[in-house]
Amino acid sequence: MTRKYFGTDGIRGFVGEGVITPEFVLKLGWATGKVFEEQGHCKILIGKDTRISGYMFESALEAGLVAAGADVQLLGPMPTPGIAYLTRTLRAHAGIVISASHNPYYDNGIKFFSSEGKKLDDDIERAIEDKMDEPLVVVESSRLGKASRIEDAAGRYIEFCKSTIPPMMDLSGLKLVVDCAHGSTYHVAPFVFEELGAEVIKLGVEPNGININDGYGATSPEALTEAVVSTGADFGVALDGDGDRLIMVDHLGSVVDGDEILYILAKSRQSTGYQGSSVVGTLMTNLGVEHALNRLGISLLRSAVGDRHVIQLMNESASILGGEGSGHLICADRTTTGDGIISALQVIETMKREATSLHELKSDIQKYPQHMINVALSAGQKFVMTDEIEKAVKGIEETLNGTGRVLLRPSGTEPLVRVMVEGEDLALVQALTLDLSKTVERLVNV
């Protein structure tokens, strides 16, 4: 579908500009309420991360939904996957997340979950967009929606996270560092691991509205690395601002990214009897991970970049595992969306079951060097794969001779094309990327 407002992961932007304004979000709440009220009286959940503008947009959404006649239940600061879970278990018709995920505090966004805790269907997004063109009319006073707050939202989600590993598994004896990025997991993640018996050293658990993702969390694992090494922890867990990404650090201070975690989870599922033959990554998943999976007899299926595309391919291929190098991982046999805490628990379960370290679990993977150069396009220009560019790509593929790959990927958000080469030899990869980027730049800017 051609979307007017919705991107691949909801609506996102700079606070106070474009559609990220109180006026727009008020109308969005109303339009959402009207669409769901057409199917019968509805209940909508609203949760948010810790950025300061969340209060403003929470109030705007609440007012719009109530004006349309929808009931609202407020969750307060909650991880995105927690909102998905509560939408499903509280039998709500939809869940709304106020978050810009891993972005800085001055951005914010709105995304939706269906009653099943999954991405909202395209036809409902289209109906909401169509409704935005209508005048906002408040329902008669007796039909106004009611608003209430779920006081035990965090506790419900903590118990769900703990339920995703065997009930008798005890994490006593493990010391880990948990970095919550000053985001929405600050009052959830540490308690999950502590209640399971682990000794937890907390980072990024003092949100003030403007420090979300600032030097902490999955996008900035340096603080976690330092803390793991200095405290002698067994490993570290870094989540992003809304809790749907996971990056880990082993006891030596080495970062374990989403690609490596995907491999660890796939091997673990195989060792416990799962017979699935494929997992889903993206066009950016490291070739070394694909080769490591192939040695296990597991195929890597590649989707376009973005969790919506990963989940779609998982559904089409009946795969239970999917993810991206950024740490957005989906364990479909445990939950319905990307969940950093649950993904971490699956890795820890493997460590405990096999009596091994995180460092050992990733030792089968030899990641290949990747080098990327962004080539700018003129405003409004679209990238076209010309015969000359295709010839240049084939020449590089022949040079790599099966030991690497080439990727040309237009950005979905910026006027540029990403030129990437991956292979065993870093110097060769860098040289080939530079040559190809020059060719692309010359041919797209004629």
Catalytic residues: 101
Name the phi and psi angles at 202, rounded to 5: -100, 135
**Can you spell out the DSSP letters for 279-299?**
EEEETTS-HHHHHHHHHTT-E
Matching residue, tokens 């628990």: 345
Per-residue b or e along 290-323, where b marks 16 or more CB atoms closer than 10 Å to that residue's CB: bbbbeeeebebbbbebbbbbbbbbbeebebbbbb
* Contact status, residue 406 vs residue 395, Cβ threshold 8 Å: no
Strands 299-303 and 321-323: unpaired
Nearest alpha-carbon partner for 161 in 356, 322, 343, 18:
343
Task: Please tell me what DSSP assigns to residue 198.
Answer: -
Task: Please tell me what DSSP assigns to residue 204.
Answer: S
Q: What is the distance between the alpha carbons of residues 264 and 362, in angstroms, rounded to a whole number?
A: 7
Stated as kind and residue range, the H or E segment containing 404 is none
Enumerate the H helices of 301-385 as residue ranges.
307-317, 340-354, 358-361
When computed from its CA atoms, the radius of gyration of the chain, rounded to whole angstroms, is 23
Strands, DSSP E only, in 231-325? Answer: 235-239, 246-250, 255-256, 278-282, 299-303, 321-323
Helix (H, G, I), strand (E, B) or coil at 48: strand
* Contact status, residue 32 vs residue 132, Cβ threshold 8 Å: no
Strands, DSSP E only, in 345-403? Answer: 370-376
Name the phi and psi angles at 298, rounded to 5: -110, 130
Q: What is the distance between the alpha carbons of residues 339 and 241, in angstroms, rounded to a whole number?
A: 12
Task: Please tell me what DSSP assigns to residue 10.
Answer: B
Contacts of 12 (CB under 8 A, 6+ apart): 20, 100, 101, 103, 107, 108, 109, 110
